Structure 1
Amino acid sequence: PQSDEVRRYFLENALCWLTEYRVDALRLDAIHGIMDVSAYPFLAELADTVRGLSERTDRKVYLIPESDLNDARVITSREEGGYGLSAQWNDDFHHALHALLTGERKGYYGDFGSLEHLERAYAEGFVYAGSYSRFRGRRHGNSSRHMAARKFVVFSQNHDQVGNRMHGERLASLVSFEALKLAAGTVLLSPFLPLLFMGEEYGETAPFRYFISHSDENFIEAVRKGRKEEFAAFQWEGEIPDPQDEATYKSSRIDYRLGSEGHHKTLVEFYRELLLLRKDHPVLSRLSKDDMEVMVYEGERALFVRRWRGSGQTAAVFHFGDSPASLSLPLPPGRWDRLLDSSERRWGGAGGSPAWKTLYSHGSVSI
């Protein structure tokens, strides 16, 4: 009851940020926590309001929600009966990738761990699209197969997935240098919108812990209790850093100077190379999962992704195994030039095979 003015407050607040502060996009936090059974959902009204602003000012502005619902309506257009939000964070992509890289299976990672999960994230977007989730104890989500690739934001790290770990470990503290390069390639060579977390590009090792600065003791204690309950499913060990303690905040500061040293510098240069490839290559620069083939080599722990646009084609192999593997790849006939090999010495690897520089395919090649 009497929620109209509350709605108006939030709508005007969004417009304030977009007009007075000239921001280009708003991230909407945890929209799955919004209880709204109205015929005209608030998120749909927000999307309509922002689209009206965009049309009046001839500016492109975006609404990007975090949603745990795996509900394609969130990013379906208003004309097709959806909420009309621009794009959403795809946690399924992160969970599938993280479980493969780290081997973690506690909490919601228990729903992941197979290369088929990452294959589905690449091909469709949502991994759980109505199938049974062991973590939730029920079926979860609906299909996003029909949704455009530009509707999904993918990542190997973000403030939620790092900050919501008990000790705030970044990926660089959990996996090898080779795995960090693998994570970068999997995200940046995907057909989706990539998101990079601050410090990820050079392998920041400082944790990113959850921290607050409040004066209400009851609220502070409620946060502490909530954090403890949230971690129960993951069975992490150790003492939870106090989110109200200033030391928790200070320990989470990043150090950009690392990016100019040793393997951290190498990782920065690797990210730059990936970003240049994505920007300049006509196939990789296209936000589309339509012209794409994804295959799993489960025994070899590898994912093969072929994409095409007109006469141009690319093929990528992401190897998650601990030992070398041999693969037979279904490459269309013709010449294939190597664009990037993370095993090369310049990227801190053991050295790529000379045979990889150019491949001639008659329908398939062995590597």
Structure 2
Amino acid sequence: MSDTTGLFHRETYAAQMAEQLLNPGPLDESTRSGVFLSGIRRVGKTTFLRQDLIPALETRGALVIYVDLWVDRTKNPSALVHEAVRNTLRQLQTPGSGLLQRFKGLNLGAAGFSFGFQLDDVGQPGGATLAQAFEELVNTAHINVVLIVDEVQQTLGTEEGFALLHALKAARDAVNARPGMPGRLLFIGTGSHKSLLADMTSRRAQPFAGAHLVSYLVLDREFVQWQLQRIAATPGVVLPSLDTAWQGFQTMGHRPEELLKALRQLQQAHGTDPDTALRIICATLADAAADVELKAVEEFGELGKAVFERIATGPEDGATGLFGVDALAAYADRTSSVVETSQVQNIVDKMVSANLILRPTHGKYTVADPFVRKVWRDKLAQLAQLAQLAQPPKADLT
């Protein structure tokens, strides 16, 4: 479904998810423990959250706090979450604010209301905890509060991030486990790394163990049809068949931006069958996207590529032994020079800072983006096939 802004809305999907969160049936009660939504990058998760799910939740009377942990990677996740919470509470205190107007007719008065703690001190030593802040908010406003943390796996690997998850769990329990509370605190975490999100919801040591893990439903054939119909009104536009466009969309990983880019390039393919041209364009764009991702790794040099390869070819939930004797010997063989542990640690730290890899637990490392991991492994497989083809045929001694 579209609107005047040219957005493709997924109202049915959003309504279903909102109902499961706010009014869960017997089979959906695990959503009270939290919902973790997994899906690779650039397939429309954030757009869906902002344009469809948040409005669906707000229509049903919920107060939504949204935090994107990739919006500013110079800040640690804890700072971003606390900042978003303080900003929301500040709006609720401000007479005539847009947030108060949105809840007109509910228990949030136009004059706003005060809290029994200093907003600037929330999360600070001596200040109110997130549990205290959310408990007072729900108890005073009589509404459900939904906290959405986009790219939640960014909390892994640091003490601050782990402490944040524990603080959010404590807040969830303080609100949801207290009898007679007039609302709930619901948590949604999204991420591009399904394996890490699975660990966050299944490992007992993780604060949100027992939360509900679901896969994001990627855009389907209906979206492709909508996109073709949207541009069909342009005079002289060249269009492929729906079947070919849908196949190309899948080739490019269900990424809406790539589909639009492919359709724009198709307009330059004069004199060529549109379906044939689009197949070539989509395959080329998919390869180009892979090359961009690989270039970020290659900029770390031969040692960086060797370290990354060891992580990418290891278990999906994380590779270990990056600093062991065998690993150092392999790096030395790859770079034709002696490699010290400190050099590897320096490379690893820089890759973590560049968001190429994550450190889910001590001594374990995994590729941050599953798409990049797949691209790297596909490249290795292609090189292996080429090497095999280049080998001279064995002599026939018969």
> Of the two, which has the highest radius of gyration?
2
TM-score (norm 2): 0.26
In proportion to residue count, which structure has more helix? 2
* TM-score normalised to structure 1 length: 0.27
Q: Pick the structure with more strand per residue.
A: 1
